[in-house]
Structure 1
Amino acid sequence: MWPLQAAAVAWVVAAWVEGSSEHSAVALLVFAAAALLRAVLDYCAGGYLFKAADITITRERSALIQREARARSAHSSAEIAALMVQKLPLLQPWITRYYIAMVRVAVIPLVLAALCFWLSWVAALILLIAGPLIPVFMVLVGMAAESASRKQMDEIGSMNAMLMERLSAMLDIRLLGAVDRALGDFSERAEGLRLKTMAVLRIAFLSSAVLELFSAIGVAMLAVFVGFTLLGAINFGTWGNTLGLAEGLFILLIAPEFFQPLRDLAAAWHDRAAGLSVASELEDLDAAERVAFVGSGNAAQPLEGPLSIDLAAAVAALPGKALALPDLALSAGQSLALMGPSGAGKSTTLACIAGLLPLKEGRLMVCGQALSDSNADAWRARIALIPQTPQFPDQSLAEWLDPEGRGLDPWPALRMAEAEAVVTGLADALQTRLGESGGGVSGGEARRLMIARAILSGRELIIADEPTADLDPESAAAVIRALLRLQEQGHSLLVATHDPALAAAMDRAIEVAP
């Protein structure tokens, strides 16, 4: 549109200088119509590009969530969260700015140079000399920008991982008096991220300065040529015709537009570097070794047969490593405790028995059948899991306690779990919505609520991971009593614990060696 607008402006100005206003209204109407059409096209193109970016980011985020939920990799959850929340949105400017800038650079400067060449080969030559210098320096600067951007992205991921690690260990940090050191470590990493971000910005400003320098030189040289030609000091470069005021103005008006796509590309070059860093991280995740849980994760009817577990000579298939598991057997109505130091494999053993991790070697028989993709969902339909860290979704306690919506009365289960007073003490009782990690109740109260939920589920096998961890003796005793009531009603218990009192309350205990 701009060459048409530039021609209209040059025509009107030249006519006014010559004392003629003939057809000026037509030229101004052409200018306004072209401006309106350009605005409409820009609006439509912007909407299309942002929609494409939103679709791309949503697709990648959904794929990440689905894959990481079903097939774990060695990457930490903090790194995955940083990628989904902080880094994936960086694809938007890459899509909406960089790609369109590349197309414009490939088309518009050549079209404008051809128009200048039609009027003056010298003007076109000036543009063609000044123009290519910009991409050359952009490539040189861009190589440094890509490296700096990748370092910045890596620092964001590692800083998130460190933050999650420190938050999860906050109680231990405070007990050990290491709060100041933890703050110092975080401050040091934050300073490192600041320096890496500033390095990226310095390169971005450098590329802009280089671009503006060469574009200003190109426009200035063109203005000198046109000015001296109109003054009669230069009489070559116009194919034998005289370069009039209208032609000179037209060349000067389209010269900045010759460099504008290059400006846009330089402005989007950092977007390219950030987008490539995110794409590279996505490719690394695609290629990462990962382990999927057994089964499809869909609802299924409970597996038939008397409840039993037989784990022998088993090795868990963890991302990037294998972990030997203890031999154990459990029958209906029995209770078993797994004891051992942190990292020995207690939680991994529970996850393998629940089919949340596959076995690399060995045998796992459940209800007389080998656990496989065909029966894992049915096996999990007989299991109630009490994880070490409570997780409460955004729903009322009444809905959470009865997830299958069977309309069961929760109060008998709450009394059995010694959690009745916990609910009655809440402002909205069963209509209360707790925070994700159980905000509003203590750790022991959250565990007892989870036991009540397991009771209401009616599932025979209760798997509890460190149910008394971090609890005071009174709260731990209440949790142990609630678990024993479950066993008295015929449930089987399988717990991982460091608590000698809980282990002594079970029928048997197995020591898990690291």
Structure 2
Amino acid sequence: MTSPRQTEATLSALTAPPRRRLRRAAAAAVLAEALWLPQAALLAWALAAMATGAALQTGWAILGVAGLGCARAGLGMAGAAQAEIAADAVIGAARAECLERADRRAPEADAPSSAATAALIVDKLAMLRPWLLRWHPARARVAVVPLLILAVSFAISWIAGLILAISGPLIPVFMALIGLAARDASARQMDEITSLNALLVDRLGALVDIRLLEAREAMLEDFRARADRLRARTMRVLRIAFLSSAVLELFAALGVAMMAVYVGFSLLGALNFGAWGAPMTMGEGIFLLLLAPAFFQPLRDVAAAWHDRIAAQAVAADLLADRAVPVARILGQGGPALPLSGTITVRGLAIRDLRFPDLDIAPGEAVALTGPSGAGKTTLLLALAGMIPSHGAIRVGDVALTDATADRWRAGMAMIPQRVHFLDFTLRENLSADAPDDRIAAALDLAQAAPIVARLPQGLGTRLGEQGAGVSGGEARRLTIARAALRAPAVILADEPTADLDDATAAQVIAGLRRLHRQGATLIVASHDPRLIAELPRRIEVRG
């Protein structure tokens, strides 16, 4: 459970980079609101002159009011533009951070589901926008404009100032009380959004089973129930928002009505006090009547933005929960570097509660890492690639694998994962964006993958999607071998490359790996497949 102080600190950190733009937006909003005072003064002067029949230079009054109105509109648009830019920057940075963290979850982490992550990135972070656009300008206006109007009102009439001073502070008090209920309602709404997204992703993945089991009606009924629950929680948030608006309007209306009653009776001569000894003039009375609604307007804006702030706090709590999930630290910066070469040496390697045997793998060797499931074969491969932190020494030749040397190590390495992943580009771009056709053809022949490309609808121009739609698991692994061949790596790490493959497909994958090895690459394979282990001259048992 996160505390309000933690959520406020998170929101403050999110707005730190574009804080200058938010300050500009707030300053523009304050100045635009403050310009209402001279504009109202001009209006009051013009109306009083018309009511009393005094001489009036109408043209100058109209120009003054119009000019101040244009200035206020220009400042408002400029401030809104600054706030929009800041909002885009904050939400974009938060989404990029969440995506990066999702890609780097530690293997042992109790990570949130992909649906929860998607709900946070797509739905919840978007709820920061109203808070960024409205809360900061509203907070700045409420800190300056009411005090300015209060000072001007006191200068004209101490009774008018007293009316505003009494009715104004009641609004924040009641808003704070209502805000406690709004915070809980917003948190429940966020939880329901996550739950509904998780249900949707789960049901999409099980559509075939749902159809086979004829469970369509049960699935739809479940969706209807969850959607109704989200609707009810959303309506509760809206009810609280309308309640707070009603409370605000009540006190604002009372304050304006009291000001109108006082000004009206003073101009009629029924009240002869409160105007610092001199009778209140028509212009002063109209000016006070114009200022009274403007005194409460910043409070109205803060009340409207208060619920945006509550929603932003709920989003910040979810961000804190997402950040609390451990993230694997990947060595290196991911930049280009000259590759390392030499014997791979492992001494005293330990990762969490797993301990691994000391290894010496000479250049050009082919090694099978064997052992029971859960012994740490995949973990060892990730450690050799510098993808997860470890205790112990990994060396390539005379160079230790560290944060400073990891890029050089990976520059001469290729990895063939058990679950193949493609970028959402064409197959040519996935293999190599700049390799000539003859090299791509040679790599496909080496991996026995040329027939796969030949039957695709657009050949190398086909988009397979991230999951490799249109090719089988074995075909995807052969395409990955072709991708590795195009890199001409010194070291190849392969994780269960023949898992779940039939004999014929596995033989093709094994043949591709053997061809890469014969070209001089060091081959390190984690596998429990006896067909593949038998093809490799050296075997290392991993027992964790």
**2:368 is the counterpart of 1:336:** yes
Show the counterpart of 1:7: 41
User: 1:500 deviation in Å?
Assistant: 5.2
Show the counterpart of 2:441: 411
Matches of 1:153 and 1:503 in 2, distance apart? 50
User: 1:170 deviation in Å?
Assistant: 4.7
Relative to 1, partners in 2 of residues 1:115 and 1:369: Cα closer, same or farther, differing over 3 Å? closer
Aligned 8 A contact 2:174 2:247 in 1: yes
User: 1:242 deviation in Å?
Assistant: 2.9
- Could you tell me which of 336, 345, 348 is aligned with 2:376? 345
Aligned 8 A contact 1:130 1:214 in 2: yes
| Most deviating of 296-305 and 324-333 | 324-333
Matches of 2:239 and 2:376 in 1, distance apart? 48
Matches of 2:341 and 2:256 in 1, distance apart? 82
Aligned 8 A contact 1:385 1:454 in 2: yes
Secondary structure of the structure 1 residue equivalent to 2:255: helix
Query: What number of residue pairs does the alignment pair up?
Result: 504
Show the counterpart of 1:202: 239
User: 1:29 deviation in Å?
Assistant: 2.1
Aligned 8 A contact 1:340 1:511 in 2: no
**TM superposition score normalised by structure 2:** 0.79
- Could you tell me which of 20, 23, 38 is aligned with 2:57? 23
After superposition, the C-alpha distances for 1:216-259 in whole angstroms (9 at most, x for unaligned) are 22122222223333344433333333334433322222211111
Show the counterpart of 1:97: 134
Show the counterpart of 1:224: 261
**2:452 is the counterpart of 1:422:** yes
User: 1:2 deviation in Å?
Assistant: 1.7
User: 1:192 deviation in Å?
Assistant: 5.4
**TM superposition score normalised by structure 1:** 0.83
Relative to 1, partners in 2 of residues 1:157 and 1:282: Cα closer, same or farther, differing over 3 Å? same
Show the counterpart of 1:397: 427
**Any stretches of 5+ residues in structure 1 without a counterpart?**
317-321
User: 1:305 deviation in Å?
Assistant: 1.8
Matches of 1:191 and 1:486 in 2, distance apart? 57
- Could you tell me which of 98, 105, 110 is aligned with 2:147? 110
Secondary structure of the structure 2 residue equivalent to 1:439: coil
Relative to 1, partners in 2 of residues 1:459 and 1:160: Cα closer, same or farther, differing over 3 Å? farther
Show the counterpart of 1:314: 349
**2:389 is the counterpart of 1:358:** yes
Aligned 8 A contact 1:385 1:462 in 2: yes
**2:310 is the counterpart of 1:273:** yes
| Most deviating of 157-166 and 272-281 | 157-166
Aligned 8 A contact 1:339 1:503 in 2: no
Aligned 8 A contact 1:399 1:405 in 2: no
User: 1:498 deviation in Å?
Assistant: 5.9
Aligned 8 A contact 2:153 2:160 in 1: yes
| Most deviating of 464-473 and 109-118 | 464-473
Aligned 8 A contact 1:337 1:506 in 2: no
- Could you tell me which of 84, 87, 107 is aligned with 1:50? 84
Q: CA RMSD in A?
A: 3.7
Secondary structure of the structure 1 residue equivalent to 2:46: helix
Aligned 8 A contact 2:101 2:327 in 1: no
User: 1:215 deviation in Å?
Assistant: 1.0
User: 1:27 deviation in Å?
Assistant: 1.9
Secondary structure of the structure 2 residue equivalent to 1:462: strand
Equivalent residue letter for 2:381: L
Aligned 8 A contact 1:12 1:21 in 2: no
Aligned 8 A contact 2:135 2:302 in 1: yes
Matches of 1:44 and 1:413 in 2, distance apart? 57
**Any stretches of 5+ residues in structure 2 without a counterpart?**
1-34
Matches of 1:256 and 1:152 in 2, distance apart? 34
Show the counterpart of 2:411: 381
Matches of 1:309 and 1:200 in 2, distance apart? 60
Any residues of structure 2 matched to 1:54-453 within 5 Å, and which? 54-62=88-96, 74=109, 75-76=111-112, 78=114, 82-153=119-190, 156=193, 170=206, 193-282=230-319, 290-306=327-343, 308=344, 310=346, 314-316=349-351, 322-327=352-357, 329=359, 330-331=361-362, 332-341=364-373, 344-360=375-391, 362-367=392-397, 370-402=400-432, 405=435, 409-453=439-483
Equivalent residue letter for 2:266: T
Aligned 8 A contact 2:348 2:358 in 1: no
Secondary structure of the structure 1 residue equivalent to 2:465: coil
Relative to 1, partners in 2 of residues 1:359 and 1:433: Cα closer, same or farther, differing over 3 Å? same
Matches of 1:116 and 1:128 in 2, distance apart? 10
Relative to 1, partners in 2 of residues 1:33 and 1:374: Cα closer, same or farther, differing over 3 Å? closer
Relative to 1, partners in 2 of residues 1:200 and 1:309: Cα closer, same or farther, differing over 3 Å? farther
**2:496 is the counterpart of 1:466:** yes
User: 1:358 deviation in Å?
Assistant: 1.8
Matches of 2:358 and 2:457 in 1, distance apart? 45
User: 1:486 deviation in Å?
Assistant: 3.2
